[in-house]
Structure 1
Amino acid sequence: MASSERIYRVIFHNQSKIYEIYARNISDGGLLGFVEVEELTFGERTQVVVDPAEEKLKNEFEGVKRTYVPMHSIVRVDEVEKEGAPKISDADGNVTPFPTSVYGPGRGTD
């Protein structure tokens, strides 16, 4: 798989919901504690049936060149063969962010 063809599925926790989005590029970015997600992809389907969840995500990220997701909100990042349907789902079960920060007081401030 060529690097220009890579697609990543990024699953993260946001305001009591689980977001699943697809992007062509992810990195540790320039902001400490954030994952940079670029080139979001949304299926350009020619079907008559429209998925309301995908449309909601497409509208939410419309005009976004890149987004920064807090590291502690990331549930999973996968490199996938092909893009799936982005979605938002309820956070059923126990999805809890890490209780402490690796960049807390007294760490790396010497």
Structure 2
Amino acid sequence: MSNKPIYKVIFYNRHQVYEIFAKAIYQSDMYGFIEVEEFVFGERTQLVVDPGEEKLKGEFANVTRSYIPMQAIIRIDEVEKGGVGKVSDIKPGDKIATFPFQGQTPQTD
């Protein structure tokens, strides 16, 4: 295991569930937010490109720090090594468990 831990952060954002990897997370000085820094993306070792991870790379390309609302956090895990980030769609009626409220049904606009 490396000296600096890697965290898998799973959170709800705009009717989708994001799974990202980062080397630094902590409670923000802005009340109610978690700060995520030093994003980790999988290295391209194959010719096959994962479109989900490419979408995340594009979305977080110029981001040095992201502030995620605590109520959007589903789970944070410390992992031995980074993995492939992904974005999953939430279907209407699906229930998700976020902190601090459990079993919310996503609202549609």
Under a length normalisation based on structure 2, what TM-score does the superposition of the two structures give?
0.82
**C-alpha separation in 2, matches of 1:27 and 1:5:** 14
Q: Find the residue that maps to 1:5 and give its secondary structure.
A: coil
Structure 1: which 5+ residue stretches go unaligned? 100-110
Q: Which amino acid aligns with 2:28?
A: G
**1:34-86 CA distances to partner (integer Å, 9 max, x unpaired)?**
00001011112132110000000000001100100000000000000111100
**% identical equivalent positions:** 53
Partner of 1:19: 18
**C-alpha separation in 1, matches of 2:45 and 2:82:** 16
Runs of 4+ with >6 A deviation: none
Residue 94, structure 1, aligned to residue 88, structure 2 = no
RMSD: 1.7
**C-alpha separation in 2, matches of 1:76 and 1:7:** 14
1:24 CA drift (Å): 0.1
Under a length normalisation based on structure 1, what TM-score does the superposition of the two structures give?
0.82
